[in-house]
Structure formats: C-alpha cells, structure tokens
Chains A and B, each alone.
Chain A
C-alpha cells in the first residue's frame, strides 16, 4: 500500500486571518487533483475529531495561521519532530484543543503520521469577528500551496491541475468568496454594536 497523505487546513474562518489554513486547502482543492491516497480536509478548530484522520495518514501536511511574532504574512515552514514543539510554542493556542495535543494524542496511541510538515503564516489581524483574510495573508495562499506541492512531489505525490475533491471542505455558504462577499457592510451591521442603541454623540 502506498503512502497515505492528509492535507489539513486548521483555524477558525470567523476570525479573519485565523482562516488562513482552511482557505489554503480550499484553493488547493479548487485548482489541483490528487490520486486516491490523498485526503484534503478542512479541520476547522476541531481537536479530537481529527484523530481518525491522523490515524489513517503516513504524511501530514498542515496549513495554519501561527502567531510567532513575525512580520504579518511571513510563511514559516516546520518539519518533522519540530512540528508539535512549534505548535506548542505559540503563546496561546488559537484553537480550542491545541492541535499539538491532537498530535501528542496520536503519538500516545502509536499512530502519529511519520512525516509532518507545517506551513504556517503569521496573521495580521485576528480581532475582527466575521472578517476575512487580510491582503498580506491572502497573498500567501498561493506561495504556501506551491511549497506544499513541491514537497509532495519530492515524496512522489503528484498533483494534476483541475478541480480536486472538495467533499471534506466547508459548506459553500462559508467558502471564502461567499463568506467575504456576503459580509454585511458597516452601515447595516455596525462592527462594534447596534447603532440604534448608541448614545447620542457627547
């Protein structure tokens, strides 16, 4: 049996640049097709729910927004045993169950994927609930995908251009274009509250 690969995007799309990882797998599925041993997954902010997918993977590629104090939009590539440590080094987990815990659990259970690759991007803005990716982060989706494709090719996993399998990605209502285009404008949905109840200007 050949190598089984899981390409995972994690993060919360509702928190602006936190959605980077999820948006990467979305675009990957939009542009590329892989053979049967490759799974593309929008992992959201899920923790243990992701364990079954890790169990069935020999290679794990993770796209994620990682706050590592770098210049916004900087890509950070981490490999192998450094991945859990790197994820754990974040000042705080951006997700509910830190993904490092998911990897540690897989390790404890004896089925951590052998090959780990993390492609992280430093976010610019997280404190914008309902917002989309900032330009500087969105601009890194394609380079991040290029890096992933390059590494995958090195492991003998080829991608063809064309639409890939999107069955494990987000519902169409929150895919990036629909989500960002459908955001109510500031006039109709005030960003900081309900304008009807603002006290008159003092």
Chain B
C-alpha cells in the first residue's frame, strides 16, 4: 500500500526488505532498512540511530570553561567543531566578548577543519562509492596521463611514469593479499561506470590527498598547541602571538605563521587543480545517476558560520550563509533564530524517549532525555538483536529535530542551496560555473552528486576564506594588536547566578548547536543537536520523513544484495560512521556480511 507523507514522499513497504546495519561507537551510529520493489527501486526507507547519547549526564555540575574538552571527545572527526561550538555557547551565556584575532584564528581553524574533512571525506570515504581501485590496475598509464592533463592541466603530477609507479605500488599492495582499505568493495558491480584510466587517476589522488591531509592538520597543531584534540579557550584562543619571537614552541611567531600560509596555499591549489576537476570528471561519467535529492529541493537549513567580526552572528555578517528554505520555495529564505522556542524543536514520537505526551516538541534549552526503549508490534527479532525495525512505532535513538515543524536537510548542499537562493556572490558564481561546465540544469543540484559537488565547491571557497582571515590576522598583528584572549570574565565570581547561551557552527556535515544553562558557576543542562540528528532523523508524529530516508527513495539498485547505491547516497551526507552491513534475504537469513566505510 502506498502512503504519502505530509512532506510529499510516497512510501510503499510491499517489496523486499534490505537491512544495512552500520555500527560504531560514536555520534551517528545508524542502521538503515529499505524496501525494494521488483524492479530494484527503493520504495521505503527507514533510518535508525542505534546508540543513545546524552551529554547532559556527563556535563552536569562541571565547570562550563571545561565543557569544550568533553565535547571534543563526542565525535571521532569533528573534534574542533564541537569544541568551538561549546566555547561559543558558554561565551554567549556569560556575555564574554572575544578579540578580533581570536575570531580570525577560530575561523582559520574551523575552515581548516572543513577543508580537511571535505577532502578526506571525498577521497577516503566517498570516492570508493564511485571509483574502483581494482579496475585501476587495468589502466594504461599513458592514457591516464593524457586524461590528467585534459582534466587538471595545472596539476604537475601527470606524467605516464608517475601513474605507472602508482599503479605498481597499488598492484603490490593488492597482491600482498591485504587489500586492506579496498577489501570491502563490490568491485564487479555494474554500478561502477568509470573507465580504468579515470579509476587510476582518482586512486592516485586518493594517495596524494593522504599526503596533503597530514599537512593540513598542522594548522591545528600550530594554533591549538597539539593535534588531535587541539586546545580551546573560553574568551578567545589559547595561543599568544609574538610576531618577532623565535623557535617552534611558545608564542606564535612569523615563522609559524608562514607555515600556516604555505599550508593554506597548498590547499587552495589542491582544491583547484585536483579536487574540483576530479568531481567534474567523475561526475561526468555519472551524469545520469541523479538520484538522492531527498529533502534538498524542499527543506534545507543552515545556522551559518565564519563571522566577519568577533561576537557578531547576524546573518549578513557570516561568510557561510544562514537561513531556512521550506516547501521548495527558493525565492524565500527565512532567517533562523536558534533561541526562539518555536523554531528548533525536537520530537520523540518515533524515538526511544518519552516526553510524557504525544506530539510534543521541546526546544533544546528545555530538552530532556528520558529513555523509553520499546519495539513496535511488527518488529522482528529480539530487543537486543533486531532483525527488522517497525517504523510505525518508536525506532531510533535519534530524536527528530524540526524547524517550525519541518524536517530539514543540513550540510554543504543545504548551505549552498541557501547561499544560491540568497544570491551569495561567491557561492552563486561557483554554482553557476559548475553547472555550465557540466552542462547541467539547476535541478541537478538536488541529488547525491549535488551534495558531493557542493562539498568540493565549499572546500575551494573555504580555502579562499582561510587566506582572507589569515591576511586579516597578520595585518592586525603587524599593526600592533596581538591580543588573543579576553580573560575579564574568566573568574566565576564575575558571572551571573543563572545564565543560558547557545553556540552555533556549521560543522563539515551541517548545522551544529550546543545549548547550555549555567547555574551557580556550574553547568545545569547541556544539549547538543548535531548535523546527523537532523539528517538521520526518524519520522515525527505527522509522519514526515527525514533527509536520509527521503534521499534513498526511488533510487534503483543494480543488485539489491550489494547496497552500493544506498552507501553512495548515505555517504554523500558524510555521516560519522564506519559501518558493518548485513544484507538480509527475504526470510531474514544473512546473505553477506561486509564492513563498509
């Protein structure tokens, strides 16, 4: 039976059920079940968060100045973004103003994380959904060299000998029997469309990106003192600046700023000469695979980030755009106020929590986390080993956040659609340029590939922004302002007895918010609504489906027992997960178990 959701998607549970069950121990643990019809099209999709996490049970009673160090550990990837969101929330609560240099340095670090995450995501997590490294062994190095020079003429690493060397290295690795990183692919699946030369080129860039990413993170080491887990500070940044200083430790000096500058330049070059050309080239072979749009053409949300001035989060002062688009109306971008109790709310009707009454939404400041784990009457399996979810009942540990009642997609594509709709100059130029190059209409944006392309464009734009804030920082320092922190309100005796605040960022995967309440110098309540909560959200009381679920609908699977297409689209959101998939046959027997990244 076909059911239409209020947000306009047709669901049909008649076909074969396929279970993809990724398991990890971090934010974004998820499982996915779909129903596939006789022709291989996905007609129903269910996204389940399989892990319960509540930060309030950890942070209650702690010193708010320490919260960043805890939130940095929530996630295995977005450490810095959580820390930044946390210090912003605490500063907001306590009315702490940060100096201009701290704003520039935080922006540089946040942009650095965006670029690192986007490049690593594309080459090391997502590319293998499109690129077949095993097929690369069949490539002709000379033809690969010609392809490289046509696709990215400014990239110096392009000789036939270079590609032959990489191919040999790859061969050795594969033949050593430890295919390792590549061992879990579906390498003979007809969903892979690239010729061997494109596979070799992209696999080569996979290796180049590995080298580059090691240097990118040095920016965090320089400004954050160490990496992973850089240091943060309520009131600014914890690195003093002394332009004339010497040495590799102590205050930031010109020598280390020059190192940052050269890393920024390398990222800009890589984005322009390798990453974007690869997305165009690979996308060109998959131009007819325009599945996966889901909510993106209907409802997208961004809080915005990268403030031009410290302490000013007004929408027009943010370089990454803020806004909300609903009902597919791109001509109207709504402003977003994360303090407004009517805007961001979390619902739990299909989540394993209870608020005591159905259909109730709570703003994160009032957020509560009371577990109620129960399976619906049509679930198969046991409470500890679910074989099939009953999505008509409670089915996820993820709450369902809504913006004014709407399920929203967040992330690079959401930011880019909002930027495009608002006429953000850089974003509009990038988007129209890309569409022209690829000879695609605007509608092509609303797709899995659109998500992947938006991430690449954003990486390029973030590189330019990083350079802008670097120059701003250096200029300021040369002019004699080397202040990096404001410690006026460091002492809790200067704080109000009770206060609450909110911190917002655009994490690589989308809008991230931390809401904090401080009482008598200690944390009273702390709630995070993370990007994967928005995108991976279960249904709400009205039956609206979330972004993951919507994006999988109507995708055709070449081989339902090999969920390449599901992974392609889920990965395009860059969810935080390393996953094991169990593909079930109709009677629930396990056909294959594969670990997928």
Question: Residues of A with Cβ closer than 8 Å to B?
Answer: 12-15, 18, 42-52, 55, 84, 92-98, 100-101, 104-105, 107-110, 126, 129-130, 167-168, 170-171, 173-174, 182-184, 188-194, 196-199
Contacts and interface: CB of A to CB of B under 8 A. Distances in A.
A116 to B, nearest CB: 14
Nearest to A106: B210
A166 to B, nearest CB: 11
A184 B524 CA distance: 11
Main secondary structure, interface of A, reads loop
26 contacts: A12-B26, A13-B73, A44-B229, A45-B75, A46-B76, A46-B79, A46-B228, A48-B120, A52-B217, A55-B214, A93-B25, A95-B25, A96-B77, A96-B576, A97-B578, A97-B597, A109-B211, A129-B53, A168-B226, A174-B66, A184-B61, A189-B57, A191-B57, A194-B56, A194-B369, A199-B356
Interface in B152-183: 169, 173, 178, 180-181
A30 to B, nearest CB: 18
Contact of B25 (A126, A183, A188): A126
B124 interface: yes
Contacts of A198: 370
Contacts of B120: 48
A118 B213 CA distance: 26
Contacts of B353: 193
Contacts of B23: 92
Contacts of A110: 169
B228 A44 contact: yes
Nearest to B218: A52
A48 B213 contact: yes
Given A14-B74, A96-B26, 11 more contacts: A48-B124, A49-B217, A95-B24, A96-B576, A96-B578, A104-B178, A108-B181, A170-B229, A193-B368, A193-B369, A197-B354
Contacts of A194: 56, 368-370
B69 A173 contact: yes
Contacts of B578: 93, 95-98, 101
A57 B362 CA distance: 50
Given A96-B576, A174-B70, A18 B226 contact: no
Contacts of A94: 25
B319 interface: no
Contact of B70 (A51, A173, A190): A173
B210 A14 contact: no
B353 to A, nearest CB: 7
A44 B370 CA distance: 28
B487 interface: no
A182 B227 CA distance: 25
B54 interface: yes
B355 interface: yes
Interface in B53-103: 53-54, 56-58, 60-63, 66, 69-70, 73-77, 79
A24 B77 CA distance: 23
Instruction: Kindly name the residue among B54, B231, B356 whose own CB sees the greatest number of chain A CB atoms within 10 A.
Output: B54
B135 interface: no
Interface in B12-47: 23-26
B346 to A, nearest CB: 13
Nearest to A168: B226
Contacts of A47: 76-77
A178 to B, nearest CB: 8
A114 to B, nearest CB: 16
B386 interface: no
B371 interface: yes
B76 A96 contact: yes
B259 interface: no
B597 A108 contact: no
The 3 closest A-B pairs by CB, nearest first: A96-B76, A193-B370, A104-B180
